[in-house]
Amino acid sequence: MTDRLRHALRQQAEACAGLDSAFMARLCTLLAERLTPDTPLTRRLFDWPGDLSPAAASIPLRLAGALHAQVLRGDAALAAVYPPNPADDAALWQAVQDALHREEAFVDRFLDSPPQTNEVRRSAVLIAAGHWLAARHGLPFVFSELGASAGLNLIWDRFALALPDRTLGPPDAALILTPRWQGLTPAAAPIAVTDR
């Protein structure tokens, strides 16, 4: 049973590395290498029924989400090893292990809910396509979303996209996305939004 969880954690680490999420890749790798089924919480993780992978129950993201929620709740010891703070693998693992023991009940409850990944980097393609469409057709937009980002991608016109030869978006952007860009860059165009 232990191999299924380790495999799912490694899959998530690879996916995170491919998306330039270095900290998450590192965290999932450490969990895959060092987590052991020696507490009720960790036994639950190792014994989880069904597919644990990112394509199904997404146990790695549930666990990582629980740890991140602890940081957001003010767990100073865990926050001290989370970005932007530097920490080597030993310090990060010790803080994670301590947090899993200290907040076992919280993490256990958190695991019951599947994760929702609200990734604003998805807006990069929307910004590029939006500017291309606006330059080509000059029509206003109506933004609709099916709930994949908690509404964050409904405000892509407030974000900027830094490309190799220009930046698309408002000069006072709430967020600047800097993806690895290949190919031609769309022309900047005014974005008009009539509804979201």
Contact present, 61 and 43 (Cβ < 8 Å): no
Note the pLDDT of residue 117.
67
Last residue of a domain, one of 110, 136, 170: 110
- Whether the per-residue pLDDT at 2 is higher than 80: the answer is no
Q: Which DSSP category does 145 fall into?
A: -
Nearest alpha carbon to residue 69 among 41, 29, 100:
100
CB 192 within 8 A of CB 140: yes
- Same domain for 66 and 151: no
> Does residue 149 register a pLDDT over 70?
no
User: How many structural domains is the chain composed of?
Assistant: 2
Strands (E) across the chain are located at 141-142, 159-162, 167-168, 175-177, 193-195
- Comparing CA positions, the residue from 56, 46, 69, 60 lying closest to residue 16 is 60
pTM over 0.75: no
- Phi first, then psi, for residue 168 (nearest 5°) are -100, 135
| C-alpha span between 152 and 122 (Å, rounded) | 9
Provide mean pLDDT across the span 75-83. 96
Per-residue model confidence as pLDDT tens digits over 105-115: 999 999 998 87
Per-residue pLDDT of 150-183, as tens digits, reads: 677 889 999 999 999 999 999 999 889 998 888 8
Return the pLDDT at 115.
Answer: 76
The reply to whether 182 falls in a domain is yes
pLDDT at 174: 86
* Structure confidence at residue 66 as a pLDDT band (50, 70, 90): very high
Strand 159-162 relative to strand 167-168, pairing: antiparallel
In a domain, 115, yes or no: no
Is residue 191, in this structure, part of any structural domain at all? yes
List of residues 6+ apart from 21 with CB closer than 8 A: none
Same domain membership, residue 125 and residue 103 = no
Span 69-81, mean pLDDT? 95
Cβ atoms of residues 67 and 99 within 8 Å: yes
Distance between alpha carbon 190 and the CA centroid of its chain, in Å? Answer: 29
Beta bridge partners, 142, equal 195
Question: Which residue segment(s) compose the domain that 143 sits in?
Answer: 120-195
Residues 13 and 102 in one domain: yes
The answer on pLDDT for 1 being more than 60 is: no
- At 118 the pLDDT is 67
What DSSP element (H or E) covers 126? helix 123-137
Same domain for 64 and 145, yes or no, is no
